[in-house]
Amino acid sequence: MQAREIFQRYELKYLIPFDKYKAIAKELTTGDKMRYDKFGDGFGCYNIVSLYFDSDDKKIYYETRNKLRFRQKLRLRVYDNATLDSPSFLEVKKKFNKVVNKRRTKLKLADAYEYLKADNKSGPLDMYQPSNLQIMNEAEAFRSLYSLTPRVVVSYDRQAFHGVEDSDLRVTFDYNLMARDNNLRIEDGPEGIHFVDPNLVVMEVKVSQSVPFWLARLLSDFECPRQSVSKFCTSIDLMEELASHGAAGTQQKKTPAPSMII
Protein backbone atom coordinates (compact mmCIF):
# COMPACT_ATOMS: atom_id res chain seq x y z
CA MET A 1 0.00 0.00 0.00
CA GLN A 2 1.34 3.43 -0.95
CA ALA A 3 2.06 5.58 2.10
CA ARG A 4 0.74 9.14 2.02
CA GLU A 5 3.34 11.79 1.30
CA ILE A 6 1.37 15.03 1.81
CA PHE A 7 -0.73 15.94 4.86
CA GLN A 8 -2.53 19.17 5.75
CA ARG A 9 -4.51 19.35 8.97
CA TYR A 10 -4.98 20.81 12.44
CA GLU A 11 -3.25 19.00 15.30
CA LEU A 12 -4.65 19.44 18.82
CA LYS A 13 -2.46 18.15 21.67
CA TYR A 14 -3.26 16.99 25.19
CA LEU A 15 -1.14 15.58 28.02
CA ILE A 16 -3.13 12.99 29.96
CA PRO A 17 -2.53 10.29 32.62
CA PHE A 18 -2.08 6.74 31.37
CA ASP A 19 -5.30 5.48 32.96
CA LYS A 20 -7.26 8.22 31.20
CA TYR A 21 -5.66 7.16 27.90
CA LYS A 22 -6.87 3.60 28.46
CA ALA A 23 -10.41 4.79 29.18
CA ILE A 24 -10.55 7.07 26.12
CA ALA A 25 -9.06 4.38 23.85
CA LYS A 26 -11.75 1.99 25.03
CA GLU A 27 -14.45 4.54 24.22
CA LEU A 28 -13.02 5.10 20.74
CA THR A 29 -13.41 1.41 19.92
CA THR A 30 -17.03 1.41 21.13
CA GLY A 31 -19.52 1.99 18.35
CA ASP A 32 -18.71 2.70 14.72
CA LYS A 33 -16.89 6.07 14.82
CA MET A 34 -13.25 4.98 14.94
CA ARG A 35 -11.11 1.98 13.99
CA TYR A 36 -7.55 0.92 14.74
CA ASP A 37 -4.87 2.37 12.46
CA LYS A 38 -4.43 -0.11 9.61
CA PHE A 39 -0.68 0.59 9.45
CA GLY A 40 -0.10 -0.66 13.02
CA ASP A 41 -0.48 -4.12 14.45
CA GLY A 42 -3.95 -5.53 15.00
CA PHE A 43 -4.57 -2.88 17.64
CA GLY A 44 -3.14 0.14 15.84
CA CYS A 45 0.15 0.04 17.77
CA TYR A 46 3.65 0.71 16.47
CA ASN A 47 6.95 2.32 17.46
CA ILE A 48 8.41 5.52 15.98
CA VAL A 49 12.05 6.64 16.04
CA SER A 50 12.84 10.07 14.60
CA LEU A 51 16.08 11.97 14.02
CA TYR A 52 15.50 15.71 14.34
CA PHE A 53 17.72 18.41 12.82
CA ASP A 54 18.68 21.89 13.93
CA SER A 55 21.24 24.59 13.18
CA ASP A 56 24.17 25.45 15.43
CA ASP A 57 22.32 28.55 16.62
CA LYS A 58 19.11 26.54 17.26
CA LYS A 59 16.91 28.31 14.72
CA ILE A 60 14.40 25.44 14.65
CA TYR A 61 14.27 25.17 18.43
CA TYR A 62 13.57 28.89 18.89
CA GLU A 63 10.98 29.00 16.10
CA THR A 64 9.05 26.29 17.94
CA ARG A 65 9.66 27.45 21.50
CA ASN A 66 8.62 31.03 20.65
CA LYS A 67 5.52 29.78 18.79
CA LEU A 68 6.16 31.76 15.63
CA ARG A 69 3.19 31.93 13.27
CA PHE A 70 5.30 30.13 10.68
CA ARG A 71 7.68 27.43 11.84
CA GLN A 72 9.09 24.25 10.38
CA LYS A 73 11.08 21.13 11.22
CA LEU A 74 13.12 18.53 9.37
CA ARG A 75 13.26 14.93 10.57
CA LEU A 76 14.13 11.44 9.40
CA ARG A 77 11.75 8.77 10.68
CA VAL A 78 11.53 4.98 10.82
CA TYR A 79 8.93 2.61 12.21
CA ASP A 80 9.19 -0.50 14.38
CA ASN A 81 12.28 -2.73 14.05
CA ALA A 82 14.11 -0.87 11.28
CA THR A 83 17.38 -1.88 9.64
CA LEU A 84 19.55 -0.10 7.08
CA ASP A 85 17.47 -1.79 4.38
CA SER A 86 14.17 -0.56 5.83
CA PRO A 87 12.21 2.35 4.40
CA SER A 88 12.70 5.70 6.12
CA PHE A 89 10.82 8.96 5.67
CA LEU A 90 12.48 12.33 5.25
CA GLU A 91 9.86 14.83 6.38
CA VAL A 92 9.44 18.59 6.23
CA LYS A 93 6.81 19.66 8.73
CA LYS A 94 5.52 23.24 8.55
CA LYS A 95 3.00 25.07 10.70
CA PHE A 96 1.34 28.33 9.71
CA ASN A 97 -1.58 29.90 11.57
CA LYS A 98 -2.17 26.60 13.41
CA VAL A 99 -2.43 24.58 10.18
CA VAL A 100 0.12 21.78 9.91
CA ASN A 101 1.49 20.79 6.50
CA LYS A 102 3.69 17.71 6.34
CA ARG A 103 5.48 16.60 3.20
CA ARG A 104 7.61 13.47 3.18
CA THR A 105 9.46 11.21 0.81
CA LYS A 106 10.38 7.59 1.33
CA LEU A 107 13.89 6.25 0.77
CA LYS A 108 15.93 3.35 2.08
CA LEU A 109 17.53 4.22 5.41
CA ALA A 110 21.04 3.41 4.14
CA ASP A 111 20.47 5.84 1.25
CA ALA A 112 19.18 8.48 3.67
CA TYR A 113 22.42 8.26 5.64
CA GLU A 114 24.44 8.58 2.43
CA TYR A 115 22.45 11.66 1.52
CA LEU A 116 23.01 13.24 4.95
CA LYS A 117 26.78 12.93 4.80
CA ALA A 118 27.13 14.02 1.16
CA ASP A 119 27.64 17.50 -0.25
CA ASN A 120 24.54 17.83 -2.44
CA LYS A 121 24.98 21.37 -3.68
CA SER A 122 25.66 20.21 -7.20
CA GLY A 123 24.83 16.51 -7.29
CA PRO A 124 21.47 15.04 -8.34
CA LEU A 125 19.22 13.84 -5.54
CA ASP A 126 17.55 11.14 -7.61
CA MET A 127 20.60 8.94 -6.98
CA TYR A 128 19.11 8.24 -3.55
CA GLN A 129 15.92 6.92 -5.20
CA PRO A 130 13.37 8.92 -3.18
CA SER A 131 9.71 8.15 -3.77
CA ASN A 132 9.07 11.86 -4.41
CA LEU A 133 11.97 13.80 -5.91
CA GLN A 134 10.21 17.17 -5.59
CA ILE A 135 9.81 16.74 -1.83
CA MET A 136 13.41 15.55 -1.59
CA ASN A 137 14.50 18.78 -3.27
CA GLU A 138 12.37 20.79 -0.84
CA ALA A 139 13.97 19.02 2.12
CA GLU A 140 17.45 19.68 0.74
CA ALA A 141 16.67 23.37 0.15
CA PHE A 142 15.46 23.67 3.75
CA ARG A 143 18.48 21.80 5.10
CA SER A 144 20.88 23.95 3.12
CA LEU A 145 19.19 27.28 3.93
CA TYR A 146 19.25 26.65 7.68
CA SER A 147 22.54 24.68 7.73
CA LEU A 148 20.75 21.87 9.51
CA THR A 149 22.58 18.93 11.05
CA PRO A 150 21.35 15.92 13.08
CA ARG A 151 20.61 16.96 16.65
CA VAL A 152 18.55 14.50 18.70
CA VAL A 153 16.75 11.16 18.41
CA VAL A 154 13.21 10.95 19.78
CA SER A 155 11.33 7.66 20.13
CA TYR A 156 7.96 6.59 21.45
CA ASP A 157 5.24 3.96 21.21
CA ARG A 158 1.98 4.94 19.56
CA GLN A 159 -1.54 3.62 19.43
CA ALA A 160 -3.50 5.24 16.61
CA PHE A 161 -7.12 5.36 15.48
CA HIS A 162 -8.72 6.51 12.20
CA GLY A 163 -12.24 7.75 11.61
CA VAL A 164 -14.51 5.22 9.91
CA GLU A 165 -16.50 7.72 7.84
CA ASP A 166 -13.95 10.55 7.94
CA SER A 167 -10.59 9.04 7.00
CA ASP A 168 -8.84 12.37 7.78
CA LEU A 169 -9.90 12.16 11.43
CA ARG A 170 -7.09 10.65 13.48
CA VAL A 171 -6.46 10.21 17.20
CA THR A 172 -3.04 9.08 18.45
CA PHE A 173 -1.64 8.25 21.89
CA ASP A 174 2.15 8.46 22.39
CA TYR A 175 3.91 7.03 25.45
CA ASN A 176 7.38 5.82 26.44
CA LEU A 177 8.73 9.12 25.11
CA MET A 178 12.53 9.01 25.18
CA ALA A 179 15.38 11.05 23.72
CA ARG A 180 19.12 10.68 23.20
CA ASP A 181 21.89 12.68 21.56
CA ASN A 182 24.84 10.35 22.10
CA ASN A 183 23.77 7.89 19.39
CA LEU A 184 21.99 9.31 16.35
CA ARG A 185 21.56 5.99 14.50
CA ILE A 186 17.80 5.55 14.42
CA GLU A 187 18.01 1.87 13.42
CA ASP A 188 19.35 1.25 16.93
CA GLY A 189 15.78 1.64 18.09
CA PRO A 190 13.96 3.11 21.06
CA GLU A 191 16.38 3.88 23.84
CA GLY A 192 17.35 7.02 25.70
CA ILE A 193 16.06 9.04 28.63
CA HIS A 194 12.38 9.69 29.32
CA PHE A 195 11.63 13.36 28.66
CA VAL A 196 7.96 12.94 29.59
CA ASP A 197 6.84 11.16 32.75
CA PRO A 198 6.25 7.48 31.77
CA ASN A 199 2.84 7.69 33.45
CA LEU A 200 1.74 10.44 31.04
CA VAL A 201 0.58 10.14 27.44
CA VAL A 202 0.63 12.71 24.64
CA MET A 203 -2.74 12.52 22.89
CA GLU A 204 -3.21 14.23 19.53
CA VAL A 205 -6.44 14.84 17.62
CA LYS A 206 -5.75 15.46 13.93
CA VAL A 207 -8.51 16.86 11.73
CA SER A 208 -8.74 18.51 8.33
CA GLN A 209 -11.53 20.87 9.39
CA SER A 210 -13.10 20.79 12.87
CA VAL A 211 -13.35 18.23 15.65
CA PRO A 212 -16.65 16.33 15.31
CA PHE A 213 -19.18 17.03 18.06
CA TRP A 214 -19.15 13.50 19.45
CA LEU A 215 -15.38 13.60 19.92
CA ALA A 216 -15.40 17.10 21.42
CA ARG A 217 -18.04 15.87 23.86
CA LEU A 218 -15.93 12.82 24.73
CA LEU A 219 -12.86 14.97 25.44
CA SER A 220 -14.99 17.29 27.58
CA ASP A 221 -16.44 14.37 29.55
CA PHE A 222 -12.92 13.12 30.28
CA GLU A 223 -11.78 16.65 31.19
CA CYS A 224 -8.97 16.87 28.65
CA PRO A 225 -7.72 20.47 28.41
CA ARG A 226 -5.52 21.26 25.45
CA GLN A 227 -1.83 21.54 26.26
CA SER A 228 1.04 22.44 23.97
CA VAL A 229 3.63 19.65 23.95
CA SER A 230 6.65 19.86 21.66
CA LYS A 231 8.53 16.55 21.62
CA PHE A 232 11.45 18.25 19.88
CA CYS A 233 11.82 21.21 22.27
CA THR A 234 11.22 19.15 25.41
CA SER A 235 13.84 16.60 24.39
CA ILE A 236 16.35 19.36 23.59
CA ASP A 237 15.69 20.95 26.99
CA LEU A 238 16.45 17.65 28.69
CA MET A 239 19.63 17.03 26.70
CA GLU A 240 20.93 20.52 27.52
CA GLU A 241 20.03 20.20 31.19
CA LEU A 242 22.00 16.96 31.40
CA ALA A 243 24.94 18.51 29.55
CA SER A 244 24.98 21.48 31.92
CA HIS A 245 25.39 19.05 34.82
CA GLY A 246 28.17 17.24 33.00
CA ALA A 247 26.19 14.01 32.81
CA ALA A 248 24.82 12.06 29.89
CA GLY A 249 22.19 10.44 32.06
CA THR A 250 21.36 6.76 32.26
CA GLN A 251 20.36 5.41 28.89
CA GLN A 252 17.29 3.22 29.11
CA LYS A 253 15.83 0.65 26.81
CA LYS A 254 12.14 0.96 26.15
CA THR A 255 10.22 -0.15 29.21
CA PRO A 256 6.78 -1.74 29.17
CA ALA A 257 4.12 0.87 29.80
CA PRO A 258 1.37 0.28 32.36
CA SER A 259 -1.00 -2.36 31.02
CA MET A 260 -2.35 -1.14 27.70
CA ILE A 261 -5.91 -1.37 26.54
CA ILE A 262 -5.68 -3.05 23.15
pTM of the model: 0.91
* 68 within a domain of the structure (yes/no): yes
pLDDT bin (cut points 50, 70, 90) of residue 245 is confident
Is residue 254 pLDDT above 70, yes or no? no
* 261 within a domain of the structure (yes/no): no
What does the mean pLDDT of the chain come to?
91
* 247 within a domain of the structure (yes/no): yes
Q: What is the count of structural domains for the chain?
A: 1
Task: Please tell me which residue, 251 or 226, carries the higher pLDDT value.
Answer: 226
* Residue 47: CATH number of its domain: 3.20.100.30
* 224 within a domain of the structure (yes/no): yes
Structural domain boundaries enclosing 157 = 6-253
* 130 within a domain of the structure (yes/no): yes
pLDDT bin (cut points 50, 70, 90) of residue 248 is low
Pair 146, 59: CB distance under 8 Å? yes
Is residue 257 pLDDT above 90, yes or no? no
* 45 within a domain of the structure (yes/no): yes
Q: What is the per-residue pLDDT across 148-196, written as a single tens digit (0 to 9) for each?
A: 999 999 999 999 999 998 888 999 999 999 999 999 999 999 999 999 9
* 67 within a domain of the structure (yes/no): yes
Q: What is the per-residue pLDDT across 74-133, written as a single tens digit (0 to 9) for each?
A: 999 999 999 999 999 999 999 998 899 999 999 999 999 999 998 665 568 999 999 999
* 259 within a domain of the structure (yes/no): no
Q: What is the per-residue pLDDT across 202-229, written as a single tens digit (0 to 9) for each?
A: 999 999 988 999 999 999 999 999 998 8
Is residue 259 pLDDT above 50, yes or no? no
